[in-house]
């Protein structure tokens, strides 16, 4: 990562800190370190409002650079700041929505005279507007993602189960350079690379707040493929995370085993229509809840209200910001008044579940520009017949 | 998961709570919910010392049972406890090392009159002594893990890179039922399924505190394979996580491209000797630091002191407890006075890095019984030549 890019990102955070009178940030969670330091490190980036950032690192032990200091424990940070002639912060922000309670308390204790505030919302706000370099990384990820998806028909074999099909698609993704890891904000949601859902498993409610659920293979990870044999007349929704360079591109495509019932094709076209409508509305200034309502209206008029985004347990969003984590701002959901801004990147995923068939619909990643929404994941969008 | 097993686990936690005068626990982190409730759920298990546990769930929305209550937000828990005639706890434990700061504070606020304490150490202590059912799950995981590893020579092709080889091994693991997800305690360490290290990449220092590092494919995930071409004379250390049922079995094996230098075989035998010595010492009452010292002594006498557990950046442990997460108690490391107890399960992984060759050594999962340490991962331990 080039220094000007890192400086740009740090200054985005600093601007938001200044608005709240925050002197300094102490950043240590992996996604935020990738954002502000360019890579994962075991350590802390100390980001003062008015002077260059300092890195305090534990591992790896071979980091060089004038602003980098090896430490064994965070308590050493205070003395090094003094030696460097830096003032103690009066108002410091820590990653309050991400750091474990005991660690937050320990780090707060380093600065007993400072007011400590939760910096997670500020960092997430900065991260929600992508830089040109970040958008370029999404574009590259989208190309690799599409290359993998284009090979999906070639790895299908009649008689496969959903999990066997998933495993071959995971391999295609890895061979295109996918890092595999699926980063999610918050402690609750977990998934392995993504999900492949077919038949009634697509309607299986999950504890995780993804667009669709699935039973999974084991109660220890109740989401995604569950061993359903892929049979004639079933739809297969492929939704794997597109992490090829740290950025979580997101794209779903639907495949069919033979022909599907007419209703499934109609539902798929409804989802494409929703995508067209919402993406055409998605300009700077558009309000998230309005986009959501437009989607729900189209699904309802087409007669799919009770199958849109699941059956029984329906997801209450149609899109979500993406970045270093899969669930960033903005969220395209009811009661979200946030306005879209240039540089926001999000996944839009209208999906409809057809009983006994599976899920149909579409998901692409989009970036908001001054001209509107631009698609980052270019790949055939119609249902592709396998076999 | 059968109710008697869940009751046994909950009572293990309750016994430790009683020792500290804790009335109740509120459990919501995924690994702890799998342990105490049998599966991941979006919600909270309220575990009183003297009455049955109650589940407050948000997702999935189809949970039934006399002690299960749907909620939209945790604030509803307080009223439901009252309706059920349960007293407000005087001393409540929350998962302080796992819950994000803001969430811990929010949950603390539900019980303004209670003393709130960090329950993570208690739950981890309970989890460190496995039940018979858990040991059985490790045994089954070990069998699946070995079945996948036995097929490794069949997927090697000359000219492969380390990452291409890794991808084929990941696929073998998934086809044996591996859930893929790699659960780690704490916010810092992350890895995708495991690592395949060859050549000098085995000595590459990483920010993550695993036994060995590796550069990885991208600064966003700096660990593991880095695209090294597999060449004649190189060792390949395969160390993939064995999560087939929630339990993180752990096993490493070494493969060679053609023949290795004699020193590599000697180092490998040293690691096997360390495994023999340490596993023979690993009886109930044995002290972790003594096991570590025995390993270091053998490595030192064999002339590998500066290459044991890495070069330059050396891991400061030779083994780690395993369970629902890869890094549980006990840790076999210097200054750890903890004594082994029957039911503890840990991975023992003496490894030596040979410059330009790669890493050799061994890793198996072990359970402590009254008779000593019993191996849970049975698979050929000599270096296997590929090609």
How far B178 CA sits from the closest chain A CA (Å)? Answer: 9
Residues of A in contact with B41 (CB under 8 A): 207
Rounded to the nearest integer, the mean pLDDT of chain B is 97
* Backbone φ, ψ for residue A366 (5° rounding): -135, 150
pLDDT in tens, chain A (387 residues): 789 999 999 999 999 999 999 999 999 999 999 999 999 999 999 999 999 999 999 999 999 988 999 999 999 999 999 999 999 999 999 999 999 999 999 999 999 999 999 999 999 999 999 999 999 999 999 999 999 999 999 999 999 999 999 999 999 999 999 999 999 999 999 999 999 999 999 999 999 999 999 999 999 999 999 999 999 999 999 999 999 999 999 999 999 999 999 999 999 999 999 999 999 999 999 999 999 999 999 999 999 999 999 999 999 999 999 999 999 999 999 999 999 999 999 999 999 999 999 999 999 999 999 999 999 999 999 999 998
Residues of A in contact with B102 (CB under 8 A): 96-97, 118, 120
Contact indicator for B148, B175 with CB cutoff of 8 Å: yes
Q: Does B157 touch chain A (CB under 8 A)?
A: no
A1/B219 CB distance under 8 A: yes
* Backbone φ, ψ for residue A186 (5° rounding): 95, 165
CB under 8 Å to B160, separation ≥6 — which residues? Answer: B229, B230
B256 pairs with which residues across the strands?
B235, B385
Is A55 exposed, middle or buried (CB count within 10 Å of its CB: 0-12, 13-18, 19+)?
buried
Q: How far is it, in rounded angstroms, from Cα A86 to Cα A77?
A: 11
Task: Output the CA–CA distances (angstroms, integers) from residue A100 to A261, B13, B95, B259, B308, in the order listed.
Answer: 49, 21, 9, 48, 33
Q: Which CATH architecture has domain B3-127?
A: 3-Layer(aba) Sandwich (3.40)
Note which residues in 194-253 of chain B have CB less than 8 A from chain A: 205-209, 213, 216-222, 243, 245-246
Q: Which of A59, A216, A245 sits opposite B206 (nearest CB)?
A: A59
Q: How far is it, in rounded angstroms, from Cα B243 to Cα A346?
A: 32
Contact indicator for A134, A323 with CB cutoff of 8 Å: yes
pLDDT, residue B191, reads 97
Q: How far is it, in rounded angstroms, from Cα A81 to Cα A75?
A: 11
pLDDT of residue B77 exceeding 90: yes
Using 50, 70 and 90 to split pLDDT, how confident is the model at B57? very high
A96/B99 CB distance under 8 A: no
A220/B324 CB distance under 8 A: yes
Q: Does B170 touch chain A (CB under 8 A)?
A: yes
Q: How far is it, in rounded angstroms, from Cα A58 to Cα A40?
A: 12
Residues of B in contact with A101 (CB under 8 A): 94, 96-97, 99-101, 104-105, 118
Q: Does B174 touch chain A (CB under 8 A)?
A: yes
Q: How far is it, in rounded angstroms, from Cα B111 to Cα B44?
A: 15
pLDDT of B315-353, one tens digit each?
999 999 999 999 999 999 999 999 999 999 999 999 999
Instruction: Give the domain ranges of chain A.
Output: 3-127, 129-386
**Annotation: CATH topology of A129-386:** Creatine Amidinohydrolase (3.90.230)
pLDDT, residue A1, reads 74
- Chain CA centroid to CA A154, Å: 28
Q: Which of A1, A59, A186 sits opposite B207 (nearest CB)?
A: A59
Q: How far is it, in rounded angstroms, from Cα B24 to Cα B46?
A: 7
Q: How many residues does chain B have?
A: 387
Cα dihedral A165, A166, A172, A173 in deg (nearest 10): 160
Could you report the predicted ipTM of this complex, rounded to two decimals?
Answer: 0.97
pLDDT, residue B65, reads 87
CB under 8 Å to A7, separation ≥6 — which residues? Answer: none
pLDDT of B280-313, one tens digit each?
999 999 999 999 999 999 999 999 999 999 999 9
Task: Output the CA–CA distances (angstroms, integers) from residue A336 to A250, A340, A347, A360, in the order listed.
Answer: 21, 11, 16, 26
A60/B177 CB distance under 8 A: no
pLDDT, residue B2, reads 86
Q: Does A121 touch chain B (CB under 8 A)?
A: no
pLDDT of residue B387 exceeding 90: no
* Tokens found for residue B351: 């490894």
Q: Does B313 touch chain A (CB under 8 A)?
A: yes
* Backbone φ, ψ for residue B250 (5° rounding): -140, 130
CB pairs under 8 A between A and B: 198
A102/B118 CB distance under 8 A: yes
* Backbone φ, ψ for residue B246 (5° rounding): 105, -30
How far A280 CA sits from the closest chain B CA (Å)? Answer: 33
* Tokens found for residue B106: 């929010």
> A3-127 with A129-386: one CATH topology?
no
B221/A245 CB distance under 8 A: no
For residue B182, the chain A residue with the least C-alpha distance is: A192
């Amino acid at each position: 990562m080039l220094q000007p890019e890192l400086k740009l990102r740090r200054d985005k955070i600093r601007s938001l800190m200044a608005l709240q009178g925050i002197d300094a940030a102490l950043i240590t969670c992996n996604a935020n370190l990738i954002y502000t330091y360019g890579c994962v490190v075991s350590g802390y980036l100390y980001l003062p409002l008015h002077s260059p950032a300092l890195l305090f690192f534990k591992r790896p032990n071979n980091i060089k650079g004038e602003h980098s200091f090896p430490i064994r424990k965070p308590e050493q940070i205070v003395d090094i700041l003094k030696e460097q002639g830096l003032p103690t912060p009066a108002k410091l922000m820590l990653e309050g929505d991400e750091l474990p309670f005991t660690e937050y308390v320990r780090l707060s204790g380093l600065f007993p005279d400072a007011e400590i505030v939760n910096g997670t919302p500020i960092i997430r706000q900065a991260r929600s507007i992508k830089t040109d370099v970040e958008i370029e990384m999404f574009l590259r990820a989208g190309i690799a993602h599409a290359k993998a998806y284009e090979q999906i028909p070639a790895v299908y074999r009649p008689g496969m189960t959903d999990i066997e099909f998933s495993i071959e698609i995971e391999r295609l993704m890895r061979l295109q350079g996918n890092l595999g890891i699926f980063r999610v904000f918050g402690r609750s949601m977990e998934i392995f690379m993504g999900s492949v859902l077919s038949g009634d498993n697509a309607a299986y409610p999950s504890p995780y707040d993804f667009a669709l659920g699935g039973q999974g293979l084991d109660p220890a990870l109740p989401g995604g493929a569950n061993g359903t044999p892929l049979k004639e007349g079933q739809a297969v929704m492929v939704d794997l995370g597109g992490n090829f360079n740290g950025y979580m591109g997101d794209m779903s495509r639907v495949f069919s085993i033979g022909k599907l019932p007419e209703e499934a094709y109609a539902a798929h076209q409804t989802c494409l229509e929703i995508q067209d409508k919402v993406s055409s509305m998605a300009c700077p200034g558009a309000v998230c809840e309005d986009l959501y309502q437009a989607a729900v209206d189209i699904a309802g008029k087409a007669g799919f209200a009770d199958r849109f985004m699941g059956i029984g347990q329906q997801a209450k969003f149609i899109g979500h910001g993406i970045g270093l984590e899969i669930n960033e701002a903005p969220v395209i959901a009811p009661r979200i008044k946030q306005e879209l801004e240039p540089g926001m990147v999000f996944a839009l995923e209208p999906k409809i579940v057809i009983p006994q068939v599976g899920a149909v619909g579409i998901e692409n990643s989009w970036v908001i520009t001054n001209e509107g929404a631009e698609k980052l994941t270019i790949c055939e969008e119609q249902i592709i017949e396998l076999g």
